[in-house]
Chain A
């Protein structure tokens, strides 16, 4: 395993542990956060706040550096336009997220914890992503 792949594995592991520690991997806690009108659990606002606070500082430093520690380029998304795809896609994502309290990272973590329901969600999610590829093929070919 080369350094890139080893680093990706360790980062994935720490990211997953962060999801577990924070409670974001627990769909019941996510739904309690999204339920503003009920018994609201504000915890996930702090999760996002802390992640972004750390991210704002560190991303600025890394961008100033300009290259990776392994000497490669920073592959940052280059799209700038606020198009219909971005807005409609994100609006729909919120609906899917609110239905079950599961987004892609926590789906994989909960699956790793042996939750059959998370496995079912993940398979459906992969099918949705596969459907996207089928719909996109005529565009890119």
Chain B
């Protein structure tokens, strides 16, 4: 392992992380809900009366965040290197697996660990482990 100190952005990482934590806390405090993105999206595919608008409102906020950032600061710096076939396979896996496993980085990784849920701690260890392993296989064992 070599640490890429030039790419390391500790201040923005801590500030952005704190914003994510505060947003999740505010959602529990005001709406009484867990800010788990896969669950919020997934609920729309199983629509129930009176349970849809808040989901759409939350997701609209997420989607509009780059516009707000562009107006206030600058166009966000995003690089997606994956090819279209890989994106489609990855998207299918992420969609199916996060519903099957009841959560993703936000619901398990941030909210679940914050409330010390054993399920979320196990889930986070699982997806971190295979996330590291997958990138290792692709970048260092010549997969794909």
Distance A16 CA – B24 CA, assembled complex (angstroms): 11
Q: Mark B115-144, 1 if CB is under 8 A from A, else 0.
A: 111110011101111111111101110001
- Across chains A and B, the number of contacting residue pairs, with CB separation under 8 Å, is 490
Name the B residues within 8 Å of A126 (CB-CB). 41, 45, 95
Within 8 A of B (CB), among A76-102: 76-77, 79-82, 85-102
Are B26 and A90 touching (Cβ within 8 A)? no
Chain B contributes a number of interface residues (CB within 8 A of A) equal to 115
Name the A residues within 8 Å of B70 (CB-CB). 113
Distance A121 CA – B21 CA, assembled complex (angstroms): 25
The contact size tier of chain A is: 35 or more
Within 8 A of A (CB), among B66-96: 66-70, 75-82, 84, 86-96
**Known: A40-B4, A51-B20, A88-B101. Is A105-B62 also a contact (CB below 8 A)?**
yes
Distance A91 CA – B60 CA, assembled complex (angstroms): 29
Q: Which of A13, A31, A77, A93 contacts B135 (CB 8 A)?
A: A31
List residues of chain A with CB under 8 Å of any chain B CB: 1, 3-29, 31-32, 34-44, 46-56, 58-59, 62-63, 65, 67-70, 72-77, 79-82, 85-105, 107-115, 117-118, 120-133
Which 10 pairs between the two chains have the least Cβ-Cβ distance?
A: A89-B101, A128-B95, A22-B16, A12-B61, A16-B65, A124-B91, A55-B114, A98-B134, A54-B21, A50-B17
List residues of chain B with CB under 8 Å of any chain A CB: 1-4, 7-10, 12-35, 37-38, 41-42, 45-46, 53-55, 57-70, 75-82, 84, 86-106, 108-119, 122-124, 126-136, 138-140, 144
